[in-house]
Structure 1
Amino acid sequence: MREAVDEFAAYLAQVRNRSAHTVRAYVTDVVSLLDHAVRAGGRSPADLDLAVVRSWLARQRMTGAARSTLARRAAAARTFSAWAHRGGLLPADVAAPLASPRAHRKLPTVLRADQAAALLATADPTTTDPTTTDPTTTDPATTDPTTTGEHATTGEHATTGERAGGEPTGGRMGTPPNVGPAAGGDDAVRLRDVLLLELLYATGVRVSEACGLDVADVDPGRRLLRVLGKGGRERTVPYGVPAQRALDAWLRHGRPSLAGPRSRDALLLGARGGRLNATTARRIVSGYAAAAGLPKVSPHGLRHSAATHLLEGGADLRAVQELLGHSSLASTQIYTHVSVERLRAAYRQAHPRA
């Protein structure tokens, strides 16, 4: 059975072009399914049948698995069954009739526009002044930023104030460092943080997409990003003037301070010069949100916020779909519900007959 699992993983990654996260999740589910089949008396994948799959899902439900988790595990079982049948490992596609439980679809939590502005201003206080055009001009008397108090497990420090050597800095987070052409590691990290937040909110890209950007993926003349999304699908995403200012400051004064042999062509770098990883990026966002006094915010929360604010500003739903890289319009339509909920809340608060 181990050989079948390995071949299935290769199929998902090489033929279906699934992300590493999807491959890992599906393989974990299939291993659990086959282990359940062995306990039921099975000797090989050919002994798998619909009753075994259903009993496996029933057991998952009894142990408290969420409906969304059950839906994913059912999808993994169907995918494995279809693949095994085509490859001759199963006499029939036994999981084809399997129905997935409908997951409860929760409305995403989004920031208000003023909260998003407060988050960006915490990272770069110059954004509070609309006349400011160079985010590298800050008060020389200010102190260093601090860390979020967390470290990434992948070797890069997940802080808003990192030293190039890897040690966290002291001081009060939210206070801008002295940034200029001779910027040190602390200042370079702050410039990177500003760019990360600006890109996540300005473009609505996924955190993995932002971390995967190379310098060559940026077209500053037209203010466009070339993004490689899920399934290897490439799309072009525009960004605005504030993000361009943050990008210029990072490329001029930040990236050269952190760049090293490990940097290669990566746009966003960690404190030790390697490509910024998603775990660190998530902690950066949550750290600045806490410093701004906002509710818990993740990079995906900024993606939700960007989409909602676009729709509230009159953007076409299809345009937002293209911007986010959704393969189905149904995935984008949830943001229309968010806008309606906000409209209802405003109505209840303001209308005398609400």
Structure 2
Amino acid sequence: MQLTRAIDAFAAHLEKVRRLSPATVRAYRNDLHGLVAVVGDIDLGDVDLEHLRDWLWQATQRGDARSTIARRTSAVRTFFRWAEEEQLIAADPSLRLVAPKRGRTLPHVATADALRDVLDRLERQAQDGDPVALRDHAVLEVLYGSGIRVSELCGLDVDDVDLDRGTVRVLGKGSKERVVPFGAPAKRAIDAYLTRGRPALAARATGSGPALLLGTRGGRIGSRAVYDLVAREVGPALGSSAVGPHTLRHSAATHLLDGGADLRAVQELLGHASLGTTQIYTHVSSERLAAAYRLAHPRA
């Protein structure tokens, strides 16, 4: 079987048997097609360890991040393990493939004051009743107020929001559902958007469906639009255009820990399967504490 045909079969397995999200399946495809670009569309059984090492070496020469190379290594190992289990190959050539160690990089976090200024400005802009301004304010308030992922935000339906309780029901990774609280500012922003913004946006399409957040044409908002919104509104306040919805998620988690929230509570809020994933924010919080100490303590 040719390599591209095997990748197609593997992607179908991920989608239909393992029931991974379309975005995850697409990421596997992209990583594995990168291998095809290097070794060619050869027979699956002809791929050997040297092919794989050459693939990673070229990625290193291009300056690809270690985390990216490590992810590709994981993808190719999963692929060949599946191929061996399906008896498409006699032996797994990726068993001795060594991935570079991931460097620990702390997430980019905005200060509470910087985010307060941004959100206050968006609230003022929304006061004239412009539907897009109302939506944009609601988007950023929900992202920061709840710490949910951009995919979870875009997937929200109107019925997922409980304004009385101040909670939102989201479908996270692995199709795991959780209920996440949000604060009074987000509640006000959502209420204003539902009352004055969403009806106007919904009128621009023949059928907007149950989606909570709508795009300018009346359909469900996409993640790209949310990324552009965050980069445009939050980026200048942080002095960087390299920010996205994850910046608000990181900031929400760090500010919760700064305020004394329990680590396991933050884990549940963020929807992390492992506590270890959440612990990165303790490092961020500790660094901020150390910086404040060095700046303020007379004997630092």
Matches for 1:97-176 after TM superposition, within 5 Å: 97-125=96-124, 175-176=125-126
* Structure 2 segments unaligned to the other structure (5+ residues): none
Indicate the residue corresponding to 1:203 in structure 2: 146
2:102 is aligned with 1:91: no
Whether the 8 Å contact between 1:17 and 1:232 is mirrored in structure 2 is no
* Alpha-carbon separation, structure 2, partners of 1:212 and 1:219: 15
Whether the aligned pair in 2 keeps the contact of 1:122 and 1:288 (CA below 8 Å) is no
CA offset at residue 295 of structure 1?
Answer: 2.7
Query: Partners in 2 of 1:122 and 1:38 — Cα distance?
Result: 53
Amino acid in the other structure paired with 1:25: A
Aligned to 1:24: 26
Pick from 286, 299, 320: which aligns with 2:266? 320
Q: TM-score, normalised by structure 2?
A: 0.92
Q: Deviations over 1:251-287 (max 9, x none)?
A: 1111111113241110000111011111111121222
Partner AA of 2:239 in structure 1:
P
- Cα deviations by residue, 1:60-95 (Å, 9 ceiling, x for unpaired): 222322211110110111011011111111112331
For residue 165 of structure 2, the aligned residue among 200, 217, 222 is 222
Contact kept, 8 Å, 2:115 with 2:234, in 1: the verdict is no
**Residue matched to 1:266:** 211
- Per the TM alignment, residue 309 of structure 1 is displaced from its structure 2 partner at its CA by 0.5
Residue 22 of structure 1: how far off its partner (Å): 2.5
Fraction of identical pairs, as percent: 53
Contact 2:150 2:246 (8 Å CA) reproduced: yes
Shift of 1:35: 4.5
For the pair 1:306 / 2:256, whether they are aligned, the reply is: no
> How far, CA to CA, are the matches of 1:223 and 1:176 in structure 2?
21
Residue type matched to 2:11 in 1?
A
SS in structure 1 at match of 2:106: coil
* Counterparts of 1:197 and 1:79, CA distance in 2: 36
1:344 aligns with 2:294: no
User: In the alignment, residue 195 of structure 1 is paired with which amino acid?
Assistant: A
Aligned partner of 1:235 in structure 2 is: 178
Match of residue 10 from structure 2? 8
Is the contact made by 1:202 and 1:306 (CA closer than 8 Å) also made in structure 2? yes
Shift of 1:109: 1.4
Match among 256, 270, 274 for residue 199 of structure 2: 256
Cα RMSD (Å): 1.8
Q: Distance in 1 between matches of 2:293 and 2:45?
A: 59
Counterpart residue type for residue 298 of structure 2:
P
Larger radius of gyration: 1
- 2:238 & 2:53 partners in 1: Cα distance? 43
Query: Conserved in 1, the CA contact under 8 Å of 2:31 and 2:72?
Result: yes
CA contact (8 A) 2:144 2:249 kept: yes
1:71 is aligned to 70
Aligned to 1:81: 80
Find the partner of 2:227 among 270, 282, 286.
Answer: 282
Could you tell me which residue of structure 2 aligns to residue 151 of structure 1?
none
Give the equivalent residue in structure 1 for 2:299. 353
Aligned residue pairs, count: 294
1:177 deviation in Å?
A: 4.7
| Aligned residue identity for 1:29 | D
Superposed displacement of residue 199, structure 1: 0.3
The alignment partner of 1:124 has SS state of: helix
Do structure 1's residue 178 and structure 2's residue 124 form an aligned pair?
Answer: no
Deviates more, 1:14-23 or 1:77-86: 14-23
Structure-2 separation of matches of 1:100 and 1:222: 46
Larger helix percent: 2
Q: 1:30 to 1:251 in 2, by over 3 A?
A: same
Deviation sequence 1:169-212 (CA, Å, 0-9, x none): xxxxxx44523xxxxxxx11111111101100011011121111
Are the aligned partners of 2:126 and 2:134 in contact in 1 as well (CA < 8 Å)? no
* Separation of aligned partners in 1, 2:143 and 2:283: 22
Classify the secondary structure of the residue corresponding to 1:9. helix
Letter in 1 for 2:56: L
* Structure 1 residues without counterparts, runs of 5 or longer: 126-174, 180-186
Which of 280, 285, 292 is 1:334 aligned to? 280
* Counterpart in the other structure of 1:171: none
For residues 177 and 294 of structure 1, do their structure 2 counterparts lie closer, same or farther at Cα, with a shift above 3 Å needed? same
